[in-house]
């Protein structure tokens, strides 16, 4: 009797099984990497670009203007939210006041008006000069400061403060600026 030869092992099936195992391992590793990336902290946003620097001449003029203003004596004019001038402050004195800056008007579309728009004697720089006993505010830096952010003021008071700041130089020879308390840290 003749012995039959044993069939050769099926190499194709072994290669298929090996391929399936390697493929499954790679899929698992990729899944773990996706989970790790999803749970990782997001990257920090890029830093904003630096603001452009003004030309040297512009920067020098700006610095000279700031130095000139910084050398002036400062007068702080404090205003309450209800439109009342409450205090004048200089480096060596303070004057408490109770001067209304607004008036009620019968027109329902207006309701409140700024007194300084009607009379030069009711404008902040004029009131300050009179109470300080000065002919004008020449040489002063006048800081108009409301007790609340400007956005919380009535329209009439907000606009009136800005108009008075603009008129201060022409009428009282003082440089005035409205400082928004909302912008002070």
Q: What's the confidence (pLDDT) of residue 7?
A: 56
C-beta separation of 160 from 168 below 8 A: no
DSSP 163: H
Residue 104 inside a domain? The answer is yes
Phi-psi region of 173 (alpha: psi -120 to 50; beta: other; left: phi over 0): left
Residue 56 inside a domain? The answer is no
170 lies in which domain range?
66-183
Output the domain CATH number for residue 163. Answer: 3.30.420
**What is the per-residue pLDDT across 66-109, written as a single tens digit (0 to 9) for each?**
888 888 999 999 999 999 999 999 999 999 999 999 998 888 77
Structural domain total, the chain: 1
Q: What is the gyration radius of the CA atoms in the chain, in angstroms?
A: 38
Residue 80 inside a domain? The answer is yes
Residue 9 inside a domain? The answer is no
Q: What's the confidence (pLDDT) of residue 184?
A: 66
Q: What's the confidence (pLDDT) of residue 37?
A: 63
Q: What's the confidence (pLDDT) of residue 79?
A: 97
Residue 89 inside a domain? The answer is yes
Q: What's the confidence (pLDDT) of residue 53?
A: 85
| DSSP one-letter string for 7-55 | PPP-HHHHHHHHHHHHHHHHHHHHHHHHHHHHHSPPPPPPPPPPPPPPP
Positions of the chain with pLDDT lower than 50, given as ranges? none
DSSP 152: G
């Amino acid at each position: 009797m003749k012995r039959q030869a044993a069939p050769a092992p099926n190499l194709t099936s072994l290669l298929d099984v090996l391929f399936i195992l390697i493929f499954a391992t790679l899929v698992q590793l990729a899944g773990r990497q996706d989970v790790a990336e999803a749970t990782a902290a997001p990257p920090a946003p890029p830093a904003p670009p630096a603001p452009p620097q003004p030309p040297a001449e512009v920067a020098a003029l700006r610095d000279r203007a700031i130095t000139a203003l910084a050398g002036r004596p400062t007068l702080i004019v404090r205003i309450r939210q209800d439109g009342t001038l409450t205090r004048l402050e200089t480096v060596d004195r303070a004057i408490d006041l109770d001067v209304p800056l607004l008036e009620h008007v019968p027109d329902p579309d207006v309701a409140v008006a700024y007194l300084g728009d009607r009379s030069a004697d009711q404008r902040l720089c004029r009131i300050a000069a009179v109470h300080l006993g000065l002919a004008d505010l020449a040489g002063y830096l006048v800081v108009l400061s409301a007790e609340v952010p400007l956005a919380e003021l009535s329209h009439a008071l907000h606009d009136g403060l800005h108009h008075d700041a603009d008129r201060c130089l022409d009428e009282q020879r003082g440089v005035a600026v409205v400082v928004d308390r909302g912008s002070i840290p």
